[in-house]
Amino acid sequence: DGVGEAYNIEYTSTAFTGPASQKAAKGAGFETILERCYDEAVDKDGNLIFKSLKGCVMKVMEKKIKN
């Protein structure tokens, strides 16, 4: 938070790809703003991209740094 405040950054956001990083981010004050299942990702032909990640999700999470 100190770096963000020093540079006058209001928010930070990151894509968290695994359950452990998502849990850690939540504990650090991040909130989920977008959630997508890997098994819904398809290529231009409609083929699944991540066939082995059924049930797994990625989350874009953000945290307000400056009030």
23-42 core/surface letters (b: 16 or more CB in 10 A; e: else): eebeeeebeeeeeeebbeee
Cβ-contact 16, 57 below 8 angstroms:
no
pLDDT at 66 over 90: no
Question: 1-41: per-residue pLDDT in tens?
Answer: 678 888 889 999 999 999 999 999 999 999 999 999 998 99
Residue among 50, 62, 51 nearest 25 (CA): 62
Total domains in the fold of the chain: 1
38: containing domain: 2-64
Asked whether the whole model's pTM tops 0.85, one would answer no
* CA neighbor of 34 nearest in space, from 4, 14, 10: 14
Q: What is the pLDDT of residue 5?
A: 83
The pLDDT score that the predictor gives to residue 1 is: 64
